Structure 1
Amino acid sequence: FFEQQLLQRQIEAVILFGDCRPIHATARRIALKHNIAVFVFEEGYVRPNFVTLERFGVNNHSLLPRDPDFYLQNVPVPQQHEQELGYSFHMILLWGFLYYTTAIALQPFFRQYRHHRPLQLSEGKVWLRSFGRKLYYRHKEKGVLAHLTGPLSKSFYLVPLQVYNDSQILTHSNFKTVKAFIKYVAQSFAAHAPSHTHLVFKHHPMDRGYHDYHQLISKLGKQFGIAGRLHYIHDQHLPSLLTHAIGTIVVNSTVGFSSLYHNTPVKACGMAVYDIKGLTYQGSLHTFWHAAPDFQINRRLFTRFRNYMILTTQLNGSFYKRFKTPHGRYHISYNKNLPEGLKVHPSAIIEKPCTPPPATIDP
């Protein structure tokens, strides 16, 4: 049906939000088969002030060059305009509530529609459970951040967990579940990490209502003999954790890129757009435990890669919150500074510099 519509209506471009959900993956494959342009929006590679827009695909489907020499030998890209969005999580919750409430209410009128997540009233219980757990762990974990950034500073490895159904894990890694990743990291830590170090798993805030890994992590601590060195935390200040960690272990979360920003070594266990020689540790996880303290991130490469990535794949803004500009209130603003002589990859989202006010997009 979709292929027939593309051809009959002479569609010139297909626009998606994410490219790994089954319906999106099929649409992307069919469109590319007929040489129809595909544009994919996604949450920002650089958080929290950007969203992603790429041609062909995002994350591991991205055509961003992975060769460090492409950036080191290219014309340097200046730092791009970046307007601060401020706190936006409350807007994510608001729009999520409105979206699911409307979808559930109208479900009887669209019986053939299939959502990628359950559209049931039980989802409301998940949100209530998430709020309850937030309050519970806020009380339980008082003093945890001070302990990690004080006595345990540079004595722990941080493992930011991803949402249980994140397509980044399901599609762009060899792990079938977050639980499998937790076990893999804990087992490697027990066997190979220095005996004085600690391992800290941080729960993803958007997964709080769906899963709680306390029992699993406690079980693994006892099983591998590291109960006193294994920690499970929730809503602690992420930049502080990254700054005080020895290293960061991710599947392919964008937190890994934030860790590089804070000059903390990263081991990506899945396929990540920033997993480039000179940026991330390229050896095995088993050797990362001892190698992390001496691993040097190539800061010149990081700056060039970050600025180029923002120029060619990122848009300053948010899907959920508007920000003020001299020209009005917008969700997304396009204001790029393209240097002369810059070599760009074929799928780059760029326009020639212009003197009028920047173009804006208000979805």
Structure 2
Amino acid sequence: MTLPLDNMKKQAVGSHKGSRAKTQNIIGLPFIGRQPRKFPNKHCARVIFLQGPVGAFFRRAQDYLNASGFEAWRVCFNAGDRLYSPGERVLNFSGSPETWRSWFSEILHENGFDAVVMFGAERLIHRIAAECAEAEGIPVLCLEEGYVRPGYVTMEFGGNNWRSPIAGKLPPAEFEGTRQSGPKAVPSAGSFSSMAWSAFQYFTIRALISTPGERKLFHKHKRTLVSEGFYWFKNYYRKFAHVGRNYRISERLLEHHDKRFFLVPLQVHDDMQLGRAANAWNNQKLILKTIVSFARNAPGDHHLVFKIHPMERGHTRDWNFIRQVSALNNVKDRVHVLDGGSLSLLTRHSAGMITINSTSGLSAIHHGVPLAVMGQAIYRHPDLVFCVQRGKDLDRFWSEGFVAPADMRERYLGWMQHECLVGGDFYAKEGIEAAITSLRVRLESALVNRKSGKVVAANFGAAREG
């Protein structure tokens, strides 16, 4: 289905000519520490977008909602946001986190907003915004890359991952759905290349043009353009240079060590999931503890495989650290490092997986593989996975790791898909159209529930701290 954005935008612009003069007073200006002039009189449901995925997804979603009976606004925090936010109903903010809290709280309180939409619940500006919205009783729709990919995106009210309303829970007894009956995947050909190009544009413009005040609220580590370009050059070089090496290691593991190797998928070092949700774990601590515990407690004929995240190939030095720790623990010949290949294939043939809180763990649940979870994850439940409370708990996993019954795993994955996912993509054309349509449907449902007094957002402040 193609979204009729151009025709609908023309109709919407014509219907709002009477309010345009008022609107122009608050568009395109940075507001620091004070509320802008009054918004135009409210005539329909009012939604505000914060930061979105790199690229034009939020701009297209805003245009579509404005042409579909909503009044959708957008807050830009830096030059990268503005690159993908042309047109009307755009507010610019520059200031400290404390100023942002008071400014956004006043915006919500005084101007009748009905919903907030954001990408990622862990960015500082989004945590603050969600707390402000909760205080006003306004639902917050949080988007993320799909827990299951490709072909899906995540849309949840209240938060994602460890902040998800279903985090740490199992399906209720009355749930009878399956993955087959849930939302269907949408083709996403060309998604990665589109995302990479959009990310290059976004972070380049953000680094070059953003003001000092805007830099305070950057959500990613602030590297220079030169260093970031160098790391990505290394990433692409290693991607192709290591193809043969990755293939040989994988082939040897599958042929000679089937079900006799443990898999450790490492996460992106600045992933928001490696903040408070990680229970103080990071990649280096995971590498050290896993190798030491493996050397002392795992069966002598088993191997250990670390898989570098594809986004980390050029940025990480974990290869050297893994080799050093393995040599010190006399297991160098049984520890391997991959930075490519099929994670799903490796998982299916592994003896178990260890992760902090990566969504890779869902692959282990799907394939019926023992899974040890160190941090807080949406799927962390003692009846579903091996929950590590303290580092030494991992010593028991090599022999005591268990697999939940197949029917429980199937129900859980079907429930998670039903509750959290919609078919779509943030970068591929067909996927964008499907995701935007689902976003509107979810917002409409939330507004109906809000009018009837039903709760549609989880308590953001209730996320477990570990």
Does the pair score TM above 0.5? yes
Partner of 2:83: none
Partner of 1:354: none
Question: Which structure has the larger Rg over C-alpha atoms?
Answer: 2
CA contact under 8 A between 2:261 and 2:351: conserved in structure 1?
yes
Partner of 1:52: 154
Partner of 2:237: 132
Matched, 1:116 2:216: no
- In structure 1, list runs of 5 or more residues that go unmatched: 337-344, 350-363
Q: Which amino acid in 1 is paired with 2:322? A: I
Normalised to the residue count of structure 2, the TM-score between the two structures is: 0.66
Q: Deviations over 1:297-336 (max 9, x none)?
A: 2221122222222222111111121337xxx954555499
CA contact under 8 A between 2:385 and 2:403: conserved in structure 1?
no
Taking a change above 3 Å as real, the CA distance of residues 262 and 253 of structure 1, as seen in their structure-2 partners, is same
Partner of 2:396: 287
Matched, 1:305 2:409: no
Taking a change above 3 Å as real, the CA distance of residues 201 and 346 of structure 1, as seen in their structure-2 partners, is farther
SS state of the match for residue 57, structure 1? coil
C-alpha deviation, 1:175, in angstroms: 2.8
SS state of the match for residue 142, structure 2? strand
CA contact under 8 A between 1:318 and 1:332: conserved in structure 2?
no
SS state of the match for residue 27, structure 1? helix
Q: 1:77-96 maps to which residues of 2 (within 5 A)?
A: 77-78=177-178, 79-87=181-189, 88-96=191-199
Match of 2:259 among 154, 158, 170: 154
C-alpha deviation, 1:347, in angstroms: 4.1
Question: Structure 2 CA distance, aligned partners of 1:37 and 1:141?
Answer: 46
CA contact under 8 A between 1:145 and 1:237: conserved in structure 2?
no
In the comparison of the two structures, how many residue pairs are matched? 332
Q: Which amino acid in 2 is paired with 1:290? A: S
SS state of the match for residue 219, structure 1? helix
Match of 1:76 among 171, 176, 182: 176
Question: Structure 1 CA distance, aligned partners of 2:397 and 2:455?
Answer: 35
C-alpha deviation, 1:141, in angstroms: 2.9
Partner of 1:340: none
Match of 1:189 among 294, 303, 307: 294
Taking a change above 3 Å as real, the CA distance of residues 348 and 146 of structure 1, as seen in their structure-2 partners, is farther
Question: Structure 1 CA distance, aligned partners of 2:455 and 2:308?
Answer: 37
CA contact under 8 A between 2:302 and 2:334: conserved in structure 1?
yes
Question: Structure 2 CA distance, aligned partners of 1:346 and 1:77?
Answer: 23
SS state of the match for residue 51, structure 1? strand
Taking a change above 3 Å as real, the CA distance of residues 2 and 261 of structure 1, as seen in their structure-2 partners, is same
Partner of 1:165: 270
Question: Structure 1 CA distance, aligned partners of 2:133 and 2:336?
Answer: 46
SS state of the match for residue 172, structure 1? helix
Of Structure 1 and Structure 2, the greater helix share is in 2
CA contact under 8 A between 1:221 and 1:227: conserved in structure 2?
yes
Partner of 2:209: 106
Q: Deviations over 1:93-146 (max 9, x none)?
A: 222223223334533xx4421222226322222211211222232243341221
SS state of the match for residue 5, structure 1? helix
Q: Which amino acid in 2 is paired with 1:55? A: F
Q: 1:344-355 maps to which residues of 2 (within 5 A)?
A: 347=456
Partner of 1:64: 166
Q: Which amino acid in 2 is paired with 1:236? A: G
Partner of 2:46: none
SS state of the match for residue 141, structure 1? helix
Kindly report the root-mean-square deviation, in angstroms, between the aligned alpha carbons of the 2 structures. Answer: 2.5
Match of 1:240 among 325, 345, 365: 345
CA contact under 8 A between 2:262 and 2:351: conserved in structure 1?
yes
Q: Which amino acid in 2 is paired with 1:128? A: F
Matched, 1:216 2:321: yes
